[in-house]
Structure 1
Amino acid sequence: MVRFLLRFVRIARTFTPFLLLFLRDRRRFLIAGGSRTVSQSEHEQRARRLRDAMLALGPTFVKIGQVLSTRPDLVPQVYAEEFVTLQDAIPAGPYREMIPALAEDVGYHSYDDFDPEPIAGGSLAQVYLASYQGEQVVVKVRRPGIKDLIETDLRIIRRIIPLTLFLAPDRFSFSLRNMADDFERIILEELDFEREARMMEEIRENFAADENDTVTIPRVYRDVSSDRVLTMGYVEGTKVTDVKELEASGHDPENVAERVADAYFTMGLEHGVYHGDPHPGNLAVDDDGRIVFYDFGMSGRFTPAMQASVVNLYLAAVNRNVDAIIDELVALGALDPDADRAAVGRVLELVIEDLEGSDEVDWQQIIDVIVGMLREFPFRIPPDVMLVLRVGSIGEGVLRQLDPEFDILAAAQSFLREHGFLRRAARIKLAEARSDLETSLWALLRLPTKLERELDAREQERVETPRALVENQRRQTRSIGYAILAAGTLVASGLVVPVSRIYATVGIVVAFGFVVLFLRSSNRQPQ
């Protein structure tokens, strides 16, 4: 409890000055007065100070800054750009602090050799070179005490969120309500090296099943791994953004860019499990030209439903179908189902017009424009979608270092077309249309029986009405019904031709039958 209170005081003392500044931007005297104008340079200075404050508070807030750098629905662009620099900017800790985890979890003497000098370090773990059973390996060790610290910080954040909701503008409430849970899940998953090992193995097996020899995923050594220690095969490669070294080794940077993009599209849209942190330190090219992926702490899953939504969203955007775009945003959890669809539709039409008027459109520009215009609505970026946006934003920057002309949107379109996703989506739409038409046809076929029952009921109610008049009314109603059925069935048959000629033929035959019944009913004389 003492630790919790001390940590709470430190966090509150760090962020209170920033909170007061932002509140004064809305009301000059906090509870009264109009808003005040803040210059771009002042926002940049605040962003740098806020970044330094997060760095000083340690791993939890470093991760929060990294998450916020990909959340343009919550923070202005100037702050997001500054938070991007929070790439695990934590100095390496002494090796002696790592020994307990190694000794307790996998046995310190399990390795043939272990270099105590870390080759990489982050806010959550440090990475070392070692040898195991004659093989060179990489050992990732979680920082001591980091889980307790993060869990304490998460408890504090959960206490602060209600206050944040009270003070924040209403348009942010939908995003903020979900962000705490989203962030907690993300950081706890990244702390779990068992999960990281499972994701690595699954991705490795997926590429192996495809017989894809353009990608290399390091092997996991399960017998010397735990939730705090992860031992992987050492795969040497040239940093993916070291263009001169790649060219000197005989690799074409433009071809490398294409293979990196293809690997990510394959992971996300075909395998459903993907590497989520494509910054330059996590991508390399080995001597055989294969793309090497490192560090799977940030990795995600794409369910079949999400994959379908992404493809449908792309198709809807291409066809400028605003209603379909809204449907897919709701399906992805990005837009509140209760949002004003008409208002959102008008905004999306402006977004499409804005993007079509641009000479050159890139991934980041699309995200900035869409999120900027949807800020006024109950709009948020779910964690899985956020990870995809992160992959797209960081990945696009990496790919353009390899090929300044690289167009990630054109590459996505090409992938969808070459792998049959567009044909698959079209087949699904046709199948849905066929199902709707089948339902309509059966409803039409059952309609005469329903009309007959309704007429019998009416006749029972009108026992005092002359019989001749009743028969005449029944004949007229039946004739009108058959006419409607004939016309409706003919229209449905015309619509169903592109889907199935068999259904169309059946529909025409049924329509002809209704015409015959109509003629017979019309010519029949009342008794």
Structure 2
Amino acid sequence: MTDLHAGDLDVAAFSDHGPWLVDLDELEWMDRVDTIRSAIHRQVPDLIAPGRMPAGRRMFDVVRHLGTAVGSWYLTGRRRGGSESTADLSHRLRVAAETLGPTYIKLGQIISSGQGVFPKELVNEFIKCRDQVPSESFETVRRVVESDLGKPLEAVFSEFDETPLAAASIAQVHRAVLADNGQPGGGGEVVVKVQRPRVAEFVHQDLRVMAWIAPFMIGRIPVSSLANPPALVEVFAETIAEELDFRLEAENMLDVARSLRKLGQTAFVIPRPHPQLVTRRVLVMERLSGFNFDDVAGIKGAGIDTHEIVKTSMIGFLEGAMLHGVFHGDLHGGNLFVQTDGRTALFDFGITGRLSDVKRQAFLRMLVSGMTSDIRGQLAAIRDLGALPADTDLDRVIADLGLDQAPLDPTQLSPEQLIHELQRFVKQLLGYGASLPKELMLFVKNMVFVDAAIGTLAPDLDLFAHVTEIATYFATNHAQTLMAELGVNPDEMEVDLTSFKDSLGVDRELETVTYADLQARRELIQSRMRDHSKQKRRRFRFTG
């Protein structure tokens, strides 16, 4: 390996010792990346344009597998009730998704990142879609690699493990060693990401099926319709379409790595993409290793401060989005390692959030407004992100939703009252034309992961102190940006946690709260809702 010390470490957050140098002017695969990205964006509207029913065979397959999963649960697993019933349905849906292929597996991966949003049984089942998906045969992998690289596999790699390290919806990854034949990194250990051979074709078919079905779902799934099904399909299409070309992912890796370096973030490491061996379906990158993100015992056993991991992860994520307009868009436990030196290694950049300057500044305003309890400022920022129409009367929204009032404590509400409040809130938002644009969806999804990460790594972390620390960090380290872009003088910015406390549903007078405290409240609410559901089923059986 080459001792880099300087070189590409001056411009990107890479490992200290890598198998090759990344020279941004010498990357053979970078020439057409901008053109490719633009072409993919132009293709999405055609893929999801409403029209006649899609090809019958694929529609039939989707209805057959999902219908069988739900139908068989209804006849058998539903009778178990409670968590067992949910787990049974979750298992059947996960098996159906894997049978239907990449598009539905990717949906499962998104669900797996929804701790606290989806039932835990559903999340736990779909976690298996991250890296436990049935893999392609080695013969298939060889054909893809040799076709894309234009050489026999043995001419590029001296070793290539036939069994993948992991297999997911779009691709699978293999450990390999580059042949020492004069190519960059020769003799070095790498990871080779190989796309499933017909995945693009299947994804395009499935998007057409989803786009055809989505209008019929409007109003039939109230909570999900906050983004309305056709809009959800559009966001999903924009997200998955970019994952089908690994040259875009390699550029995403570089852009995030460069952003982290510019921000002075030394707590993250991005693997180097190979300067030559990147194609539409093959991505060769430096191999990094470490502890799985949920291996708390291993991390602590290595003397690593888990609280510090959470703090630096949150700050790095927020800085990238709000100062440089780029962030990893698919954070979950399978995409991160904690290295023995305490740094976090990030992987899988197929989904990356990219913000226009207008939206980046809106994110920054949302952060500052949230930390100062400026309700109107937060709503204005959310509007500018595209979640509300441009002509929305913000004062009316605040009044109608009672955002300027102390919130109801959900632990003090009956199940019927809680359901009523949720339905009222969603109905009013829909009445304002609320939606969930791609960038905000990715941001929220990542925040849900961070929430779960705190529960795993630092359940005793004082959340109020943590938020105050983040606010102080931004005011201290980014004073010029706050002044120039938002007209905010950090010296005069007073941290006010009122709106943050309101969002958690806790008493405004509370001085400290940990994740463990919040989790206890959530479990109390979930327990009441489960009991309410059981009582409804008993009444139904009795009256039936």
Deviation at 1:426, TM superposition (A): 5.9
Pairing partner for 1:349 from 396, 399, 402: 402
Deviation at 1:233, TM superposition (A): 0.5
Q: Distance in 1 between matches of 2:466 and 2:375?
A: 24
Deviation at 1:184, TM superposition (A): 0.8
8 Å CA contact 2:113, 2:449 repeated in 1: no
Q: Note the alpha carbon deviations across 1:273-307, whole angstroms, 9 max, x for none.
A: 22223322322232333221122122212333233
* Structure 1, 167-176 or 118-127: larger mean CA deviation: 167-176
Deviation at 1:122, TM superposition (A): 0.7
Aligned partner of 1:267 in structure 2 is 320
Query: Which ranges in structure 2 are unaligned for 5 or more consecutive residues?
Result: 1-51, 73-80, 179-185, 412-420, 490-544
Deviation at 1:143, TM superposition (A): 1.0
Pairing partner for 1:404 from 459, 466, 476: 459
* Structure 1, 319-328 or 216-225: larger mean CA deviation: 319-328
Task: Between the two structures, name the one with larger relative contact order (CA 8 Å, sep ≥ 6).
Answer: 2
* Structure 1, 163-172 or 141-150: larger mean CA deviation: 163-172
Deviation at 1:202, TM superposition (A): 1.6
What is the one-letter code of the residue matched to 2:192? V
Matched, 1:117 2:163: yes
* Structure 1, 5-14 or 421-430: larger mean CA deviation: 421-430
Identity percentage of aligned residues: 25
8 Å CA contact 2:111, 2:123 repeated in 1: no
* Structure 1, 124-133 or 237-246: larger mean CA deviation: 237-246
* Structure 1, 97-106 or 342-351: larger mean CA deviation: 342-351
Aligned partner of 1:85 in structure 2 is 127
Q: Name the SS of the counterpart of 1:230 in structure 2.
A: strand
Q: Distance in 1 between matches of 2:147 and 2:297?
A: 44
Matched, 1:102 2:153: no
Q: Name the SS of the counterpart of 1:129 in structure 2.
A: strand
Q: Distance in 2 between matches of 1:224 and 1:47?
A: 39
Aligned partner of 1:136 in structure 2 is 189
Aligned partner of 2:7 in structure 1 is none
Deviation at 1:196, TM superposition (A): 0.6
Q: Which has the higher helix share?
A: 1
Pairing partner for 2:299 from 246, 249, 255: 246
Q: Distance in 2 between matches of 1:279 and 1:330?
A: 27
Pairing partner for 2:281 from 214, 222, 228: 228
Deviation at 1:119, TM superposition (A): 1.0
Deviation at 1:70, TM superposition (A): 6.6
**Based on CA coordinates, which of the two structures has the bigger radius of gyration?**
1
Deviation at 1:111, TM superposition (A): 1.6
Q: Name the SS of the counterpart of 1:128 in structure 2.
A: strand
What is the one-letter code of the residue matched to 2:189? Q
Pairing partner for 2:439 from 378, 384, 405: 384
Q: Distance in 2 between matches of 1:117 and 1:408?
A: 42
Q: Name the SS of the counterpart of 1:191 in structure 2.
A: coil
Q: Distance in 2 between matches of 1:206 and 1:170?
A: 36
Q: Name the SS of the counterpart of 2:169 in structure 1.
A: coil
Deviation at 1:136, TM superposition (A): 0.7
Provide closer, same or farther for how the CA distance between residues 210 and 370 of structure 1 changes in structure 2, counting only shifts above 3 A. Answer: farther
8 Å CA contact 1:48, 1:82 repeated in 2: no
What is the one-letter code of the residue matched to 2:137? P
8 Å CA contact 2:164, 2:175 repeated in 1: yes
8 Å CA contact 1:193, 1:297 repeated in 2: yes
Q: State the number of aligned residues.
A: 404
Matched, 1:307 2:360: yes
Q: Note the alpha carbon deviations across 1:352-398, whole angstroms, 9 max, x for none.
A: 6227x689xxxxxxxxx999833542322211111111111112212
Q: Note the alpha carbon deviations across 1:74-120, whole angstroms, 9 max, x for none.
A: x9767974675353342222211111110011132212221112111
Deviation at 1:327, TM superposition (A): 2.0
8 Å CA contact 2:98, 2:104 repeated in 1: yes
Q: Distance in 2 between matches of 1:102 and 1:342?
A: 57
Provide closer, same or farther for how the CA distance between residues 134 and 242 of structure 1 changes in structure 2, counting only shifts above 3 A. Answer: same
Aligned partner of 1:441 in structure 2 is none
Q: Distance in 2 between matches of 1:15 and 1:304?
A: 41
8 Å CA contact 1:137, 1:233 repeated in 2: yes
TM-score computed with the length of structure 2 as normaliser: 0.64
8 Å CA contact 2:69, 2:96 repeated in 1: no
Alpha-carbon RMSD across the aligned residues, in angstroms, is 3.8
What is the one-letter code of the residue matched to 1:389? V
Q: Name the SS of the counterpart of 2:135 in structure 1.
A: coil
Pairing partner for 1:164 from 194, 202, 217: 217
TM-score computed with the length of structure 1 as normaliser: 0.66
Provide closer, same or farther for how the CA distance between residues 274 and 156 of structure 1 changes in structure 2, counting only shifts above 3 A. Answer: same
Provide closer, same or farther for how the CA distance between residues 309 and 408 of structure 1 changes in structure 2, counting only shifts above 3 A. Answer: farther
Deviation at 1:171, TM superposition (A): 9.2
* Structure 1, 134-143 or 251-260: larger mean CA deviation: 251-260
